[in-house]
């Protein structure tokens, strides 16, 4: 997937271009309806399908105190967009200058007089331009002037309500991983780098890969069945997200994710892993001894294996 950040360069690409517009945090099932529709339309026209997004959430500039935590950092969001099969992505740096553009000026910056964009596809709630003044009706009016059609994708639904990044975020934060998975179309994952721990797990005969999560959205403190990829190999595991309450001298200030990978041998220190949360096994507990904790971990591993077997 080609990635551009300058509208002037975007205006030089060969048309016809079908543009899928949205912030696309999470690249969930609702987003896929916009993106997949753009690709189908572009293929029918013999053209290209491009996504339009911003490098940061608009509220980061407009109202930082109201900016929601993100499901996917920009790097991961672009990878998810590329995985859909899009030909390219225009990533506009969201600045105060961009935020001040009127809806007409915003679209002129994208399309100019090249007429290479023939179709803009979006969800019904997509807004653009200063003070979010551009809605679908305004988009259609400007499309008639600039020579592009507007297609509003139908909403994906789950349990009778539209799928949204907000609903997915809330499901994850409340530990409803099955709901989050259903709305995302895949298990929720975080990308983190493995750091050195105190080696307690190795001493106890159960080595762990430790990360200090920087992810903005995390499930509740507890123990989870997880999956990651090491190279091209899927590796299953059991992960504890929390504060190590059993070891009073090793409590971190912020939650740490300690993952014991099943049927895997190797040193992952320094590796960057995408760790997907498959199912919640139990809350975090303080145990009277390390032996009691390890007995529980063995039960957790058995429970995780049953989940993966299904």
Q: Between β-strands 272-282 and 189-193, what pairing exists: parallel, antiparallel or unpaired?
A: antiparallel
Residue 202, pLDDT > 70, answer no
pLDDT band at 198 (very low <50, low <70, confident <90, very high): low
What is the chain's mean pLDDT, rounded?
A: 94
Instruction: Spell out the domains of the chain, with CATH numbers in brackets.
Output: 2-158 (3.40.50.620), 189-309 (2.40.30.30)
Using the predicted structure, report yes or no on whether residue 148 has a pLDDT greater than 70.
yes
- Output the pLDDT for position 275: 97
Distance, CA of 130 to CA of 60 (rounded, Å): 15
Q: CB–CB of 71/168 below 8 Å? A: yes
For residue 298, the tally of other CB atoms under 10 A from its CB is 12
Q: Among candidates 148, 168, 227, which has minimal Cα distance to 24?
A: 168
Q: Is the pLDDT of residue 172 over 90?
A: yes
- pTM equals 0.94
Give the pLDDT score at 200: 58
Answer whether 60's CB lies under 8 Å from 95's CB.
no
Q: Is the pLDDT of residue 204 over 90?
A: no
Residue given tokens 């509003």 in the structure block: 152
Cβ-based burial of 2 (10 A; exposed 0-12, middle 13-18, buried ≥19): middle
The pLDDT of residue 232 is above 90: no
């Amino acid at each position: 997937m080609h990635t551009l950040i300058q509208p002037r360069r975007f205006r030089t690409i060969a048309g016809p271009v079908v543009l899928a517009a949205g912030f696309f945090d999470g690249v969930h099932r609702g987003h896929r309806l916009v993106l997949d529709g753009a690709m189908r339309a572009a293929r029918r026209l013999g053209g290209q399908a491009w996504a339009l997004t911003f490098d940061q959430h608009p509220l980061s500039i407009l109202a930082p105190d109201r900016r929601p935590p993100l499901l996917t950092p920009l790097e991961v969001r672009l990878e998810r967009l590329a995985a859909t099969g899009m030909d390219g992505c225009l990533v506009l740096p969201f600045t105060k200058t961009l935020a001040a553009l009127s809806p007409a000026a915003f679209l002129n910056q994208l399309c100019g007089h090249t007429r290479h964009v023939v179709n803009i596809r979006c969800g019904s709630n997509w807004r653009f331009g200063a003070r979010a003044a551009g809605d679908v009706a305004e988009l259609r009016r400007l499309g008639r002037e600039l020579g592009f059609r507007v297609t509003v994708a139908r909403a994906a639904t789950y349990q009778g309500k539209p799928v949204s990044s907000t609903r997915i975020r809330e499901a994850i934060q409340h530990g409803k991983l099955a709901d989050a998975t259903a709305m995302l179309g895949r298990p929720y994952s975080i990308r983190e780098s493995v750091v050195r721990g105190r080696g307690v797990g190795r001493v106890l005969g159960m080595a762990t890969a430790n990360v200090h999560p920087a992810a903005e959205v995390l499930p509740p403190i507890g123990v989870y069945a997880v999956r990651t990829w090491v190279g091209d190999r899927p590796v299953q595991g059991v992960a504890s997200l929390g504060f190590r309450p059993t070891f009073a001298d090793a409590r971190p200030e912020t939650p740490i994710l300690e993952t014991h990978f099943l049927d895997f041998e190797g040193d992952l220190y320094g590796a960057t892993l995408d760790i997907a949360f498959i199912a919640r096994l139990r809350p975090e507990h303080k145990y009277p001894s390390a032996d009691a904790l390890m007995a529980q971990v063995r039960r957790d591993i058995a429970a995780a294996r049953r989940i993966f077997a299904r």
